[in-house]
């Protein structure tokens, strides 16, 4: 089937997007008034690789228990790993703890507000630094995640999927769209929200889309050029084994024997040993002087 060529230089109307965001945005707790920059930073760490629905209850409990960076810094790494629960990728919890220690010690418990300084903090990369500067301090900096890249690829460039990430090009794309003035941070949040809730990767809900101009839709939805990316599974991966081993230690407040730990994964002993060694190497768990295992900092 022949497709109409995409329109060139299609843009996104700030008014359409902002109006839609005002009435359709999700009620997420880290968007509430009074949420601090530290608490927003915590949400961004958690959201890096975990869906919103799983983050919400963990985030709520986290900020209730440790509302500030200094409160988090005063907790043990073991307690932080326990509170992280099943969010996955637990190195994020360790880095968040390190980040809290640096902010409490070097920044008087106040999260820095500029991207360059934020990027010097443990666990804070370009995306997280920009998200905190934008959402916590309302700086008009481009914030680009996969959702934003997909919306721009479709609405502006007429492609089904975004090209490979390129910070310079992706940021330039967003800067070209950002409205002047105080609405720039809300526009960024709205762009992200549209990609997360309407312009979904597999089944965009164009009937709900507020954009009257979309280059990809106007072109008749030309298919993606490359092969579809395979979604990585979880079952049977080293990541799952690491999670199982950590689960055993999270539920205990004293060290466990190797035999007890072994029960967590019987399917493949080589894989279990590899996962165990990687957790030790990452500093998430520790081997005690008596040869038992515990969460880091809880040698007993």
User: Which positions are annotated as active-site residues?
Assistant: 44
Measured distance CA(117)–CA(135) in Å, rounded: 16
Cβ at position 224, least distance to ligand SF4 in Å: 12
- The yes or no reply on residue 152 touching ligand SF4 (CB under 6 A) is no
- The yes or no reply on residue 209 touching ligand SF4 (CB under 6 A) is yes
Closer of 190 and 209 to ligand SF4 (Cβ): 209
- The yes or no reply on residue 148 touching ligand SF4 (CB under 6 A) is no
Closer of 205 and 252 to ligand SF4 (Cβ): 205
- The yes or no reply on residue 149 touching ligand SF4 (CB under 6 A) is no
CA nearest to 215, candidates 261, 150, 165: 150
- The yes or no reply on residue 14 touching ligand SF4 (CB under 6 A) is no
Distances from the Cα of 150 to the Cαs of 28, 52, 79, 170, 173, in angstroms? 22, 18, 37, 11, 12
Contact 195, 4 (CB under 8 A): no
Contact 142, 174 (CB under 8 A): yes
Distances from the Cα of 293 to the Cαs of 226, 254, 281, in angstroms? 46, 9, 13
Q: Which stretch binds ligand SF4 (CB under 6 A): 20-28, 206-214, 265-273, 288-296?
A: 206-214
Q: Which stretch binds ligand SF4 (CB under 6 A): 23-31, 148-156, 182-190, 235-243?
A: 148-156
Cβ at position 200, least distance to ligand SF4 in Å: 8
Q: Which stretch binds ligand SF4 (CB under 6 A): 107-115, 116-124, 198-206, 248-256?
A: 198-206
- The yes or no reply on residue 216 touching ligand SF4 (CB under 6 A) is yes
Tokens representing 182 are 């105080």
Residue 222 CB burial class (10 angstroms; 0-12, 13-18, ≥19):
middle
Neighbours of 261 (CB within 10 A): 19
Interface ranges with ligand SF4 (CB under 6 A): 151, 154-155, 198-199, 204, 206, 209, 211, 214, 216-217
């Amino acid at each position: 089937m022949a497709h109409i060529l995409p329109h060139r230089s299609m843009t996104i109307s700030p008014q359409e997007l902002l109006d839609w965001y005002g009435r359709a945005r999700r009620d997420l707790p880290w968007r509430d008034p009074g949420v601090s920059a530290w608490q927003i930073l915590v949400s961004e760490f958690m959201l890096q690789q975990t869906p919103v629905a799983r983050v919400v209850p963990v985030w709520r409990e986290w900020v209730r228990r440790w509302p500030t960076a200094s409160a988090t810094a005063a907790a043990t790494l073991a307690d932080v790993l326990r509170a992280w629960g099943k969010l996955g990728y637990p190195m994020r919890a360790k880095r968040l703890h390190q980040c809290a220690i640096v902010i409490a010690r070097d920044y008087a418990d106040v999260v820095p507000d500029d991207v360059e300084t934020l990027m010097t903090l443990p666990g804070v990369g370009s995306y997280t630094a920009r998200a905190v500067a934008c959402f916590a301090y309302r700086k008009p900096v481009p914030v680009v995640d996969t959702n934003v890249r997909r919306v721009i690829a479709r609405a502006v460039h007429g492609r089904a999927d975004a090209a490979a990430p390129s910070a310079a090009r992706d940021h330039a794309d967003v800067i070209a769209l950002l409205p002047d003035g105080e609405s720039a941070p809300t526009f960024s949040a709205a762009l992200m929200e549209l990609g997360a809730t309407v312009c979904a990767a597999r089944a965009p809900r164009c009937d709900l889309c507020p954009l009257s101009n979309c280059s990809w839709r106007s072109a008749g939805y030309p298919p993606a050029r490359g092969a579809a990316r395979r979604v990585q599974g979880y079952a049977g991966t080293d990541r799952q084994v690491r999670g199982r081993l950590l689960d055993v230690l999270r539920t205990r407040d004293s060290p466990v024997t190797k035999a007890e730990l072994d029960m967590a994964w019987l399917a493949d002993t080589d894989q279990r040993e590899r996962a165990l060694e990687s957790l030790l190497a990452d500093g998430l768990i520790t081997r005690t002087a008596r040869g038992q295992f515990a969460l880091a900092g809880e040698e007993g």
